[in-house]
Structure 1
Amino acid sequence: MERFTFEEDDLGGAFYLFEDETNIGEVTFRKRREDAISINHTYVKKEFEGKGYGKKLVDKVIEYAKENELNLSATCWFADKVIQSA
């Protein structure tokens, strides 16, 4: 069963994706301003690549940004691609 965990501090945050107890990957973001965040890193373990997990991680940040009324950008090429297609 897939589940996400979330960590946040003054500089930004991260979502981690697990399948049962296995950590599949993560996405991290930095706070740019009070009303803006930027995804700076997306990672999925090699054995889980190509299964849509990276998109699920970025989608989680998109959802977080919408819920918190934050502007969203990305310096990570993969996250930028997902955001542009959303």
Structure 2
Amino acid sequence: MTEIKHHNNEKNGVFEIYEDGVKAGEMTYTWAETDKFIIDHTEVNEQYGGLGLGKKLVEAAVNFAREKGIKIVPLCSFAKKTIEKTQEFQDVLS
């Protein structure tokens, strides 16, 4: 079972992804302003590669941005490529 946990404060945050209770990866971000955040790093542990967990992390960030009515600046190359290739994620780009 896949689970995503989100931790956020006024400066930065992290989305952590767990597979069967084991942390499989994370995506970190930093707040740029009150209305946008910068995804700066996405990493999935090697043994969980190829399962689409990185995209699930990006999707969690996109959903968070939509819920809050804010934008994303994807400096992380993985997040940037994923958002660019996924038309339905592009509405949150800053």
With normalisation by structure 1, the TM-score equals: 0.94
User: Which structure's residues are more often helix, by fraction?
Assistant: 2
The alignment of Structure 1 onto Structure 2 pairs a total of residues equal to 86
| Identical-pair percentage | 31
Letter in 1 for 2:15: F
Q: Which residue of structure 2 lines up, in the alignment, with residue 69 of structure 1?
A: 69
Deviation per residue, 1:10-50 (Å, 9 max, x gap): 21111111112111100111100110111001010001112
| Distance in 2 of aligned mates of 1:57 and 1:85 | 15
| Distance in 1 of aligned mates of 2:11 and 2:42 | 17
The CA RMSD measured in Å over matched residues stands at: 0.9
Letter in 2 for 1:50: G
| Distance in 1 of aligned mates of 2:10 and 2:51 | 32
- Runs of 4+ in structure 1 off by over 3 angstroms are none
SS in 2 for 1:79: helix
SS in 1 for 2:51: coil
